[in-house]
Structure 1
Amino acid sequence: MKATALDHIVLAVDNVERACRFYERVLGMEPRQERPGKWSLHFGANKISLQDARAFPDIARDTVPGSGNFCVLTDTPIDEVVRQLSAEGIEIVAGPGERSGAVGTILSVYFKDPDGNLVEVSNQLKNI
């Protein structure tokens, strides 16, 4: 078997409504209710499913809020990302700094969502 792409990730959250509001406000993601009580966040061709920590199915029962760590790319310059996060009262826990991304060097900042998940927002840098 060979993996070919990432379809979606799942974040465990304590409060699905709060998570939807946060990701819509801070990162411009679109919350969608896939079926009653099942929400996801959409951006570009990507999806983050939200798992209510109080209602885990058997296969995800050991997943806990705050254990997520993921990176999204943006065309917004990192200095503007920093300004927007500051305006929202969101503390940057690391960065800006260069890191290795999936296809090259990225310039990133890190912050926590309301559940403590670590969110990295990055600019793709041109490789020289």
Structure 2
Amino acid sequence: MFQIEALDHIGLIVQNVQYSVEWYSSVLGMHPCQACSLSGEKQQSIRVTSGSASIVLFPPSARNKVMPFYGHIAMRLLRTDFERAKEHLQSKRVPFNIVSYPSYDSIYLKDPDGYQIELSTAK
């Protein structure tokens, strides 16, 4: 058997790649770092990163549709960054909910396409 070293990226199909890049940059502090075109595709996909977390934003196509009900993306933060995230989201007027679990707290919000984003921190 083999062992996976790390999760490389998450791919999301979004309605408007540039708008989503701007949202992930301004709301989650992620930075665009790479653009590429898939074979036969007219629009580019763009990778946004923060630390070792990476999301590739793909434009919709005849084969690929926006499907936000598939689950959620969870990112782990240190407690100090969790508190900063709450303040930042409030300052940007981004709606979110906080849920407290026995061993961690989570902030839940949605991106422009309805994908659920979870920001969690250990207690």
Q: Using structure 2 for the length normalisation, give the TM-score.
A: 0.77
Q: Which amino acid aligns with 1:45?
A: S
Paired position in structure 1 for 2:117: 119
Alignment equivalent of 2:57, drawn from 29, 50, 53: 50
What is the SS of the residue equivalent to 2:7? coil
Q: CA deviation at 1:65?
A: 4.0
1:17-48 Cα shifts (integer Å, max 9, x gaps)? 11100111111111123325120111112311
Q: 1:70 aligns with which of 62, 70, 73?
A: 73
Q: Note the residue ranges of structure 1 that are not aligned, 5 or more in a row.
A: 100-104
Say whether the 8 Å CA contact 2:66–2:113 is kept in structure 1: no
What is the rounded CA distance, in whole Å, between the counterparts of 2:91 and 2:59 in structure 1?
28
Between the aligned residues of both structures, percent identity stands at 29
RMSD between aligned alpha carbons?
2.2
Structure 2 alignment gaps of length 5 or more: 38-43
Aligned to 1:95: 98
Q: How far is the alpha carbon of 1:13 from its aligned partner?
A: 0.6
Partner of 1:84: 88
For residue 122 of structure 1, report the CA deviation from its aligned partner. Answer: 1.4
Task: Please name the residue that 2:40 is paired with.
Answer: none
- Partner amino acid, structure 1, of 2:46: W
One-letter amino acid of the counterpart of residue 116, structure 1: G
Q: Give secondary structure in 2 for the equivalent of 1:41.
A: strand
Give deviations 1:70-122, integer Å, cap 9, x for gaps. Answer: 11122334343222211111111x314126xxxxx332110101110000111
Check conservation: 1:13, 1:66, Cα contact below 8 A: no
Q: Which amino acid aligns with 1:44?
A: G
Measure the CA separation in 2 of the matches of 1:79 and 1:45. Answer: 20
Preserved contact between residue 40 and residue 47 of structure 1 (Cα < 8 Å)? yes
